[in-house]
Structure 1
Amino acid sequence: MNRLSRLFLLACGLSALSPAHAQTVTLPDGALRGSTQDGVTSYKGIPFAAPPVGAWRWRPPQPVEPWQGERDATSFGADCAQVAFGPPSARPKSEDCLFLNIWRPAQSEPGRKLPVMVWIYGGAFLFGSGADPTYSGAQFARQGVMLITINYRLGRFGFFAFPALSKEHPDEPKGNYAYMDQIAALKWVRRNVAAFGGDPENVTIFGESAGGVSVHTLLTSPAARGLFNKAIIESGGGRDGTLTGRPMSKDNADPNYPVSAQTTGINFARRQKIEGTDPAALANLRALPADQILDGGLETDGKDGARIYPGPIVDGTIVTQTAEQAYRKGQQTVVPLVIGSNSAEVTGGFLAASSKDELFSQFKSGKQAAMAAYDPAGDRPLAELLTMAITDRVWAEPARLTAAAYAAKGAPAYIYRFSYVADAMRDRFKEGAPHASELPFVFDTLQSRPGSQPTAKDEAVARTMNRYWANFARTGKPDGEGMPTWQAYTPAGDMIMDFRADGTAVGEADPRKARLDATEKADGSVIPR
């Protein structure tokens, strides 16, 4: 499977609430007028940074220009410029996209500060939006939790390196503009959330797929220290891989990444007929229209024509090392953590085998041990085994590695597996829950999907997951009264919460332990790097 195909696997799953009456909040930047409906007040399209256009393209996010009067915050702002990898969206797309959205309960106890959750969407760092209807915060607000969704720059707008950029403004961080946007949004939350009734000392960040990778980065970036108090990672991996960071230049070359980020930038400029690496070349790059910057989302490496990913960069300031490197050294921010993955993330890619023998021969633990862990009776089809092995290799085992790193630092870490498939999708997804399928359950937004007709069991699973996530945001523990106990992970206990295929939630010792043990010892070349 080629790299372009892999990106589609990292995708992740909007509805505006019709205003009933206005709600106004005054910030240092100006006044915002939101709206209230069905017990939930929302504020949409709030700028947390200046538009990153013109001379601000490929610069850190800049302060918002204050506005006069009352700003209408009843409609979403534009999505960030992006390539359409999924169904078309009617929402406008623009470089001017650094907006966030807030949902809070319309009424709360006087003097009570609301716990805050900040959502970071997935989409392979190529597409996505904080305005997606799946991510509505209405149900979290009804549980007494403030939900905030953010936008961040995508594709080549979000990750770009070029020699003249490295020399320009040498005191500024370079390359990882998407991460800089996320950090700027968290700083905005810390400064302003109290005005909306939120608690700046009780902030939970969470994200899925590329959003989960982002949470790993925020947990291990010096630039994000002190900006949040808890974290949730959904299907975000945890080991070194395609989306964890490649070298900025040849000076910090990595054998796993033969093409540096700066070389990629030079190759892109040449495709646009821009020669040289001086300030004039950079000015010409900044003058290109957005569709030329997007350029299909991927890169050509300049050697054999292979398409490569213009993603996160080890820049030395925002990303100083990969998350796995930080976890192995115990250098992460230590906060309560929830982490997990779905039972059948993808059915292909990442790992290739035309026979069981070829598959099990790739395990460093030994072919016989792998067979015993994955196919003890010898009757599982190869396709099912590939799905299991890929899911374990890319998501489930790295989640366990991350949880172990937190347990070693004395922080509570809770692992989950999501195995439930909505009743209407069971004929399509027979092997288990695919990548991103947990999202409408986490947000309890099953009704947001066009044509969706969730069953009573679907809705019960959604209420349960949404409640666990909200409990964690409130207290740092997902448990709640009348809910199955979710024990923290320890290497000895190996406990997880399994959201099972039958719709029940069961805290148990991880039934995949033998598989994950075999995967942990797998040849590193099989793990995407």
Structure 2
Amino acid sequence: MTIAGALATLSLMIAQPTDRPADDPPLVRIDQGELTGVAEGEVAAFKNIPYAAPPVAEMRWRPPGTAPRWEGRRDASTYGPICIQATPQGDPGVGPLPMSEDCLNLNVWRPLDTSAPAPVMVWIHGGGLVNGSGTAALYDGSHLARQGMVVVTLNYRLGRLGFFDHPALAAERPADEPAGNYGVMDVIAALRWVKANIAVFGGDPDNVTIFGESAGGAMVTRLMISPPARDLFARAVVQSGLGRELQTPLDRRGAFDLPSARERGEVWAHGHNLMTAADLRSAPVELLLTPAPVFANGDLTLIDGRILPSTVEAAFRAGRQSSAPLIIGTNSAEFWWMKPTDRNGYGMIDDDMTWLERAQITQAYGGEAGFDRGFITDAVFSEPARLLARLHAAAGRPAYLYRFDISSPDNPEPHGGATHAIERPYVFGTLSLLPYPVRPVDQAASQAMMGYWTSFARSGDPNGVGRPDWPMAAGKGNPTLLLLRNDGPVAVPTPDAGRLDLIEQFRERPRGRPRALRPDEDAARPYQH
């Protein structure tokens, strides 16, 4: 046992005194103070734990500060506020109100009977970096905790509060202060909190797996290339986490001479007559939501030089990413509803195809209807996931590629496969939140996914007794992946390799300059997860 493991065991013994009555609420003491949680069956839950100082007033657009302390026992039985975002419209990835700028809180679930350091799984929610929370019922960690995991979910700053810069802010901050990627800094602060405190909850601080979906998956890839995050996790899982998305430099023109994040911030602020840092920090939060920044257009995916030194793709190509074992994959019909002709950042991907490229790729889809239905899914998700898995494997690091293709005849959407974000309740065991009746097929698929994911969290290898073998991806050619389908998981060469190869050739040749979208040109059905 490592020194950290021994300390975890000792801390757990202290946190669970044997002379406390069994019906008392669970109690732990961390450096900040005492926490009173709630027992939920075989699991103890501790909610609304602040992991950083409230990012309000003068702390708006500052790196996260030291977590607050308190006297006495803090009630940790209910969720805290979600971060500022547009009013939720029934999105299952968003927890209950209220919302507040004071939202940097996290939640912990652990088995009640843990007697040794347990693997830790830290979930990073999606939502296009503009919505979502770690408090959604969809992300209830109790089912994974029953598998022997300590599970953490968290909130991080969103939208312009989380990903923003302006010349007035740059002028007043110290030269060595990181800027722009405040939401990423929040997640790093939460991981530091986990490293320092999770042993008290029975977790192993040296065995932390980060996992996230969509924008949360993109956050995982960013943490893999972030120097400050390098020693804060041991394994990583990317669910529908993109990989080739437009990424914008903080203070200089980016790819195709598009405006920097600072220029974008200045233009937006000028439109609202916000000229000084004081103006910006006193602006009502409702103003910051208008118009909404767009993930696909590079408004929120920033390269700041300190927290994120380069694009994800460039770092993986150079082998500068974390050596952590990686699971990465996608769903079979992610953005089935979005066409290449749509006026949004994803619809722009094919705008500079030559006639020959378009003809070849369209033919690979069997015609225009297939191209319209499948190109965005493949170009935004499937091909980039295959690329990152291959690059990680080529660097000599374990990589496991998957595709989720569980579909139900009761799903009212004409998706033709597994739509974006539908795998989340299968991973968390929260199948009751599926938008269709739960079948034995769904229960079996959820048990398989939870088994693969928790085995990976334990050892870096998802395989285990009673499940089909999931081979590692190869560093070249067309990798083998695990296809999760209605009749069970099976290892197969990556499907549709021919069209993915054509997309890869197109994406990697020098490209023309795309036109930046106006704020009123976002998608008719906005990208959310």
TM over 0.5: yes
Q: State which of 291, 294, 308 in structure 1 corresponds to 2:289.
A: 294
What is aligned with 1:434? 419
Asked if 1:421 is matched to 2:423, the reply is no
**Alpha-carbon distance in 2 for matches of 1:317, 1:364:** 41
Equivalent pair of 1:422/1:454 in contact (CA under 8 Å): no
Asked if 1:195 is matched to 2:197, the reply is no
**Tell me, which stretches of 5 or more residues in structure 1 are unaligned?**
1-18, 276-280, 300-306, 354-358
% identity of equivalent residues: 40
Asked if 1:374 is matched to 2:365, the reply is yes
Give the letter for the 1:404 counterpart: R
Q: Which stretch has the larger CA shift, 263-272 or 25-34? A: 263-272
**Alpha-carbon distance in 2 for matches of 1:482, 1:104:** 25
Give the letter for the 2:99 counterpart: K
Give the letter for the 1:466 counterpart: M
Equivalent pair of 2:82/2:98 in contact (CA under 8 Å): yes
Asked if 1:128 is matched to 2:132, the reply is yes
Q: State which of 483, 491, 501 in structure 2 corresponds to 1:517.
A: 501
**1:155: Cα distance to partner?**
0.4
Equivalent pair of 1:194/1:200 in contact (CA under 8 Å): yes
Give the letter for the 1:292 counterpart: L
Q: State which of 491, 497, 505 in structure 1 corresponds to 2:482.
A: 497
What is aligned with 1:116? 120
Change (3 A) 1:105 1:90: closer
What is aligned with 2:107? 101
> Which contiguous aligned blocks of 4+ residues in structure 1 show a shift greater than 4 angstroms?
363-369, 523-529
Asked if 1:234 is matched to 2:225, the reply is no
**Alpha-carbon distance in 1 for matches of 2:355, 2:394:** 25
Q: Secondary structure at the match of 1:325?
A: helix
Q: State which of 31, 38, 42 in structure 1 corresponds to 2:45.
A: 42
Change (3 A) 1:509 1:309: closer
TM-score, normalised to structure 1, is 0.85
**Alpha-carbon distance in 2 for matches of 1:526, 1:361:** 6
What is aligned with 1:12? none
**Alpha-carbon distance in 2 for matches of 1:30, 1:365:** 65
**Alpha-carbon distance in 2 for matches of 1:313, 1:492:** 31
TM-score, normalised to structure 2, is 0.85
**1:165: Cα distance to partner?**
1.6
* 1:10-57 deviation digits (Å, cap 9, x = unpaired): xxxxxxxxx974111101110111111210111100000011001100
What is aligned with 2:264? 264
**Alpha-carbon distance in 1 for matches of 2:356, 2:154:** 42
- The count of residues paired between Structure 1 and Structure 2 equals 481
Equivalent pair of 1:360/1:367 in contact (CA under 8 Å): no
What is aligned with 2:9? none
* 1:108-154 deviation digits (Å, cap 9, x = unpaired): 2x3x2100011000100000000011111111101101110010000
What is aligned with 2:18? none
Asked if 1:346 is matched to 2:335, the reply is yes
What is aligned with 1:248? 250
**Alpha-carbon distance in 2 for matches of 1:365, 1:199:** 54
Change (3 A) 1:70 1:177: same
Mapping 1:107-506, distance limit 5 Å: 107-108=113-114, 110=115, 112-167=116-171, 168-239=173-244, 241-242=245-246, 245-249=247-251, 252-256=252-256, 258-275=258-275, 281-298=276-293, 310-349=299-338, 351-352=340-341, 362=353, 366=357, 370=361, 373-375=364-366, 382-425=368-411, 427-448=412-433, 453-490=437-474, 491-492=476-477, 494-500=479-485, 502-506=486-490
What is aligned with 1:9? none
**Alpha-carbon distance in 2 for matches of 1:360, 1:508:** 32
**1:194: Cα distance to partner?**
0.5
**Alpha-carbon distance in 1 for matches of 2:280, 2:328:** 39
**Backbone CA RMSD of aligned residues:** 2.6
Give the letter for the 2:453 counterpart: W
Give the letter for the 1:201 counterpart: D
Give the letter for the 1:390 counterpart: I
**Tell me, which stretches of 5 or more residues in structure 2 are unaligned?**
1-21, 343-349, 517-529
**Alpha-carbon distance in 2 for matches of 1:469, 1:365:** 42
